[in-house]
Amino acid sequence: DTGVSQDPRHKITKRGQNVTFRCDPISEHNRLYWYRQTLGQGPEFLTYFQNEAQLEKSRLLSDRFSAERPKGSFSTLEIQRTEQGDSAMYLCASSLVHGGHGQYQETQYFGPGTRLLVL
Amino acid sequence: GDSVTQMEGPVTLSEEAFLTINCTYTATGYPSLFWYVQYPGEGLQLLLKATKADDKGSNKGFEATYRKETTSFHLEKGSVQVSDSAVYFCALSEGTGANSKLTFGKGITLSVRP
C-alpha cells in the first residue's frame, strides 16, 4: 500500500491557461475526494466520487472546474481558464466505505497535494 | 450547516510542556470527529478519531474525547516534543452513508522549542 499520490506536486501557470491534476488513490478504495486549501485555512470540500460516479459537487466548484474518475481508480481535476483566485493547494483523499445498513465508518487518507500558482 | 471552530494560534511551547488545543463543532446529526496533522512539507495525516459520544481517540501520546454535551473535541498531550511541531486540524464528518465530506477548522500551528 503506497498511499495516495498526486501529480504534479507543483504547478505554475499563467492566467487563462488550463491545468489538469491527477490523483491515484489507495488501491481498492472506492471513494475519492477533492479538497482545496488556501493559505491559513483548512481544506474545503470540492467534490467526491463513489467508484466512477461523481455524486456531489460543492458550490465552490465553478463551471471552469471538472473532475473525472473514468474507471473508478485514478481521478483528474481540470481547471479551465485559470484565474489568480484559483491559486491554492489541491488535495485528494481516498477511503474505503464499508458497513451495512445505516451508519458507515470511514477514514479518509490524504495525498501530498498539488500546489497551484496562477500568475 | 456544519462547522468547526479551533482556538486561535499560533501556539509556542517548550519541550515537555502540556498541550491543549481547543476544538468545538456545530453539526445537525451525530458526526464523527477527527484530528489531522500536517508536518512541514508533508500531506495531511490522520492523528486520531472518535465516532460517538464519550469515545476517546488516542495516538502518539495525543488524546481527544468526544464531548456531545459541550460539542467539543479538544486535543491534549501530556509532554510535547520538538517533533510535534506541525499544523493541527480538527474536522468532522456526518458519515451516515451519504457524502462523508470532512469539514475542517482553520488549523493551528504548534511550535515546540527545545
Return the ∠ at Cα B31 (arms to B105 and B91), rounded to 5°.
20
Task: Tell me which chain A residues have a C-beta less than 8 angstroms from the C-beta of B86.
Answer: none
Measure in Å the smallest separation between the Cα of B11 and chain A Cα atoms: 14
pLDDT score for B95: 63
pLDDT tens digit sequence for B7-54 = 888 999 999 999 999 999 999 888 999 999 999 888 899 999 998 899
- Which cell numbers hold the place of A10? 507543483
Distance CA(A10)–CA(A118), nearest Å, equals 11
| Residues 18 through 47 of chain B touching chain A, CB cutoff 8 Å | 32, 36, 42-46
pLDDT score for B30: 83
Residue A8, CA atoms < 13 Å, CB-side half-sphere: 9
pLDDT tens digit sequence for A47-106 = 999 999 998 899 888 899 999 999 889 999 999 999 999 999 999 999 988 755 445 567
3-class SS of residue B93: strand
- Which cell numbers hold the place of A16? 487563462
Distance CA(A31)–CA(B42), nearest Å, equals 22
Task: Tell me which chain A residues have a C-beta less than 8 angstroms from the C-beta of B42.
Answer: 112
pLDDT score for B94: 80
pLDDT score for B98: 60
Task: Tell me which chain B residues have a C-beta less than 8 angstroms from the C-beta of A46.
Answer: none
Distance CA(B11)–CA(B8), nearest Å, equals 8
Give the residue, B100 or B85, on which the prediction is more confident: B85
pLDDT score for B97: 57
pLDDT score for B1: 82
C-alpha Rg value of chain A to the nearest Å: 14
Q: What is the DSSP string of B15-72?
A: TT--EEE-EEEE-SS--EEEEEEE-TTS-EEEEEEE-STT-EEEETTEEEE-BTTTTB
Is pLDDT at B99 greater than 90 in this prediction? no
Specify whether the CB–CB gap between B82 and A24 falls below 8 A: no
Q: Which residues, at least 6 apart from B29, have a Cβ–Cβ distance to it below 8 Å?
A: B94, B96
Is pLDDT at A3 greater than 70 in this prediction? yes
